[in-house]
Amino acid sequence: MTTPTATTAVPDAVIDALQGARRVLVLSGAGMSAESGVPTFRDAQTGLWEAFDPTQLATLEAFQMDPPFVWAWYAWRMQLVGAVDPNAGHVALAALAGLREVTISTQNVDDLHERAGSSVAAHLHGSLFEPRCSECDTPYDGEVELPQEPVERLDPPTCPQCEGDVRPGVVWFGETLPEQAVEVTEAAVEALEPGDVVLVIGTSGLVYPAAGYPAMARAEGATVIEINPHESEISDMCHHVVRGPAAEVLAAIVG
Ligand code: BV8
Ligand code: ZN
C-alpha cells in the first residue's frame, strides 16, 4: 500500500494495520456511495422527498397504505443509482481484494461495489435491483419504468403470477434481515482473529442489527477502523478513526 497522499491525514497505525492484516472485513453504509452522488439515508432527501422521513417511507405499512407513493421513491432511486458510477473508494476496495482476503458486508441497496468489480458477501438490507411480488414473493424480472425525475406517484408493476403489487427487494424497517446475509456476516465476524482488520465505512451506526457488527468484530480481537468524515454511533468503539471521505481515503490507503 502506498503512503497516503489524501488531504485527510491517514494515521500510520491504519496503514500498518492494513499492511499486517491477512483478512479484511468491510462493513459499508450509505456514506460509501456518497461520492458517487447517491444521497445518504439521513442527508436531506433530494427534491421531492425533503418533506418525508425515510424511516417512515421505508416500511411495509407505508407501501401497503399507498403503493404508488412508496414505489415512486424506489423507482427514482433505482434510476439514480443506474445513472451514477462507482467511486474511487469502491474501486480501491476491489483492488484490495487482490492483495488481501476481503469480505464485504454492506447495508447499501445499490450495486456500486459489484460494478467496481467487488464480490459482495452480504447485502444486509437487500437490493434495489431485486424487486419481488408483495403477495406471493415471486422475484419480478419484468419491465420496470424508471422516472427520469422524481415523481410523486408511480404504479408498481403487477406480479404476472398473482396480480399482486411488485415491491422493492429491500429490507424495510420492522422486517427481518435476509437469513443468508446475516449468517454470512456473522460467520465472517466470528472468523476474525487478532491482527485482522475491519473497515467500517460510511455508516451512522444507527440501524440494528447491522450496527452491532463492529462491536462483535472488536470482541474477536480484530482492529476496527472507521472511515467517516463525521462522528458516528460506533466511533467510540473503533481502534482508529479516519475523519475523511471514503473515496479519497481508500484511494490513498490502497493506492
Ligand atoms: C430488524 C433498506 C428484526 C431500505 C434500510 C434493535 C435490534 C433489532 C432491531 C431494532 C433495534 N432497535 C431498533 C430496531 C428496529 C430498526 C432500527 O434499527 N431502527 C433504527 C432507526 C433505530 N431495525 C430494523 O427494523 C431492522 N430489522 O431488526 O428485524 C426486528 C423486526 C421487528 C422488530 C424488531 C426487530 C431492519 C433495518 C433495515 C432498514 N432498511 N435500508 C431503503 O434503503 O430504503 S436501512 C437504511 O439505513 C439504509 O440501508 C442505510 O444503509 C441504513 C443505515 O444508514 P447508514 O448506511 O448508516 O446511512 P446514514 O445516512 O445513516 O449515514 C451515512 C453515514 O455516512 C454518516 O455517518 C455520514 O457521516 C457518512 N458519510 C457521508 N458522506 C461520506 C460518509 N462516509 C464516508 N465517506 C463519505 N463521503
Ligand atoms: Zn405475486
User: Reduced to 3 states, what is the DSSP secondary structure of residue 77?
Assistant: helix
pLDDT in tens, 113-148: 999 999 999 999 999 999 999 999 999 999 999 998
Calculate Rg over the CA atoms of the chain: 19
Interface ipTM above 0.90: yes
232 is in an annotated binding site: no
At residue 7, the pLDDT reads: 64
Tell me, in angstroms, the distance from the centre of ligand 1 to residue 160's CA.
32
Report residues whose beta carbon is within 6 angstroms of any ligand 1 atom. Answer: 29-31, 34-35, 40-42, 55, 58, 107-109, 125, 170-177, 202-204, 206-209, 227-230, 232, 245-246
Measured at the CA of 4, the angle between CA 238 and CA 225, to 5 degrees, comes to 10
Q: Which residues make up the environment of ion ligand 2, defined by Cβ < 5 Å?
A: 133, 135-136, 138, 159, 161-162, 164
Q: Determine contact, residues 182/124, Cβ cutoff 8 Å.
A: yes
Q: Determine contact, residues 89/113, Cβ cutoff 8 Å.
A: no
At residue 241, the pLDDT reads: 97
pLDDT in tens, 188-228: 999 999 999 999 999 999 999 999 999 999 999 999 999 99
Quick one: 23 exposed, middle or buried, by C-beta within 10 A (0-12, 13-18, 19+)?
middle
pLDDT in tens, 48-105: 677 778 888 899 999 999 999 999 999 999 999 999 999 999 999 999 999 999 999 9
pLDDT in tens, 8-24: 789 999 999 999 999 99
What is the spatial distance between Cα 18 and Cα 24, in angstroms, rounded to a whole number?
8
CB atoms within 10 A of CB 66: 11
What is the spatial distance between Cα 125 and Cα 130, in angstroms, rounded to a whole number?
11
Q: Determine contact, residues 97/250, Cβ cutoff 8 Å.
A: no
What is the spatial distance between Cα 81 and Cα 99, in angstroms, rounded to a whole number?
28
Tell me, in angstroms, the distance from the centre of ligand 2 to residue 89's CA.
38
Among 40, 31, 81, 83, which Cα is nearest to 247's? 31
At residue 150, the pLDDT reads: 86
